């Protein structure tokens, strides 16, 4: 494991290894999207309380899941970057941040659209919604910070530190539905007990979560590879590679 | 068959909400996909220019 991270501090091995993952991520994402969309929009029956409006879950929950997952990936990268100075971790953190912000915004927007017919309002200042909105601002903060500091190492360090500080919001979001009284419903998916959702509704949901996650992996690696080439532009392997195209 | 499809589009009266949520999802996914392709294209173009001179 440590030799793996050590290798990943070299741009060349990162570039080669990530290139092998991308086709797999892309294919998995597209297959899961196909199954999830057909299953979610067509095959799953309407909910007995919410009718067809519950189908928003297949966009809302995966994007909310990604908003937390991407920030966790960024925190992991921040530790790798600050403690072991692994350069590729900075790249992953940098490209993940806008993706995470997009999915957080999507989770908030679809939640809002879902809230109108079900709760009678687009927005309430309750724990789950507010802490998710704060997460969006933390994402914005990291993006702004990494773009306003001209010196590359300092910018990477500052973004990593802000990511570590911002991580306190992640457990707050996750447990907010248990800690406070909120309009937002509790967890539907449970790891340690039976999920409170019928299989015909659950399987497309898991597929969509997988599809979103693989899509993120695909986008993240692809963008990181492009930045990696630019970063190592003085290296011989980059020059040879680009000239061979 | 046509009525079946219309029924699907109507989403039990929630068409406005369901399709706008899915529309936003499609925009975010496709938009980020296009942007990723552009990042790659621009990076390669920049490097090619650099090595040509």
- Which residues does residue A51 pair with via DSSP β-bridges, in sequence order? A47
Chain B residues whose CB is inside 8 A of the A116 CB are 17
ipTM score of complex: 0.92
Distances from the Cα of A24 to the Cαs of A91, A184, A210, in angstroms? 21, 35, 13
Say yes or no: A53 contacts chain B, CB-CB below 8 A: yes
Q: B11, A53: Cβ pair inside 8 Å?
A: yes
The predicted structure's pLDDT at residue A7: 66
Taken in order of first residue, the domains within chain A and their CATH numbers are 17-244 (1.20.120)
Q: Is the dihedral of CA A41, A42, A48, A52 positive or negative?
A: positive
Chain A interface, best mutation among B8, B13, B21, by max A CB count within 10 A: B21
Residue A184 DSSP code: S
Record: contact B32-A219, CB cut-off 8 A: yes
Buried b (16+ CB within 10 A) or exposed e, A125-145: ebbbbbbbeebbebbebbbeb
User: A238–B47: do the CB atoms touch at under 8 Å?
Assistant: yes
pLDDT confidence of residue A200? 87
How many Cα atoms occupy the beta-carbon half-sphere of A167 within 13 Å? 17
Give yes or no for A106 touching B (CB within 8 A). Answer: yes
Task: Kindly determine whether residue A242 and residue B48, on different chains, have CB atoms separated by under 8 Å.
Answer: yes
- Nearest residue of B to residue A99, measured between CA atoms: B32
A55 with B33: Cβ contact below 8 A? no
**Total beta-carbon pairs less than 8 A apart between chain A and chain B:** 87
Give the C-alpha separation, A188 to A195, whole Å: 6
What domain range is B36 assigned to? 2-52
Kindly report, residue by residue over A50-97, the tens digit of the pLDDT.
Answer: 889 999 999 999 999 999 999 999 999 999 999 988 888 999 999 999
pLDDT at A169 over 60: yes
Long-range pairs of B6-10 with CB within 8 A, sequence gap ≥ 24: B8/A41, B8/A42
Cβ distance of B14 and A117 shorter than 8 Å: yes
To the nearest whole angstrom, how far is the Cα of A198 from the nearest Cα of chain B? 19
Which two structure tokens, joined as six digits, stand for A58? 């297949």
Residues of chain B with pLDDT under 70: 1-2
Residue A112 — very low, low, confident or very high, per pLDDT cuts 50/70/90? very high
What pLDDT does residue A245 have? 81
Condensed to tens digits (0 to 9), the pLDDT of residues A18-60 reads 999 999 999 999 999 999 999 999 988 888 888 899 999 999 9
- Say yes or no: A112 contacts chain B, CB-CB below 8 A: no
3-state secondary structure of A51: strand
> What total of structural domains would you count in chain B?
1
**CB spacing of A233 vs B44 below 8 angstroms:** no
């Amino acid at each position: 494991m440590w030799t793996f991270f050590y290798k990943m501090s070299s741009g060349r091995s990162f570039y080669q290894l990530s290139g092998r993952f991308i086709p797999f991520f892309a294919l998995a994402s597209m297959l899961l999207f196909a199954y999830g969309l057909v299953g979610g929009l067509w095959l799953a029956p309407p909910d007995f309380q919410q009718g067809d409006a519950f189908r928003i879950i297949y966009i809302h929950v995966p994007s909310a899941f990604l908003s937390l997952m991407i920030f966790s990936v960024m925190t992991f990268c921040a530790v790798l970057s600050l403690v072991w100075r692994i350069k590729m971790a900075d790249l992953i953190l940098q490209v993940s941040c806008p993706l995470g912000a997009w999915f957080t915004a999507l989770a908030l927007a679809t939640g809002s659209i879902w809230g109108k017919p079900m709760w009678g309002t687009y927005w309430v200042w309750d724990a789950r919604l507010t802490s998710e909105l704060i997460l969006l601002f933390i994402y914005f903060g990291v993006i702004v910070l990494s773009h306003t500091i001209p010196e590359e190492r300092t910018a990477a360090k500052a973004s990593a530190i802000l990511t570590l500080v911002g991580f306190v919001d992640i457990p707050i979001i996750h447990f907010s539905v248990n800690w406070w009284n909120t309009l937002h419903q509790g967890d539907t998916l449970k790891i340690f007990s039976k999920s409170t959702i019928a299989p015909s509704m659950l399987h497309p949901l898991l597929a969509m979560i997988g599809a979103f996650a693989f899509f993120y992996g695909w986008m993240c690696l692809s963008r990181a590879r492009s930045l990696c080439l630019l970063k190592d532009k003085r290296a011989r392997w980059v020059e040879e590679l680009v000239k061979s195209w | 068959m046509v009525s079946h499809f219309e029924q699907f589009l109507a989403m039990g009266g929630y068409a406005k909400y369901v399709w706008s949520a899915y529309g936003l999802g499609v925009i975010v996914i496709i938009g980020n996909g296009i942007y990723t392709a552009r990042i790659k294209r621009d990076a390669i173009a920049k490097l090619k220019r650099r090595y040509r001179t």
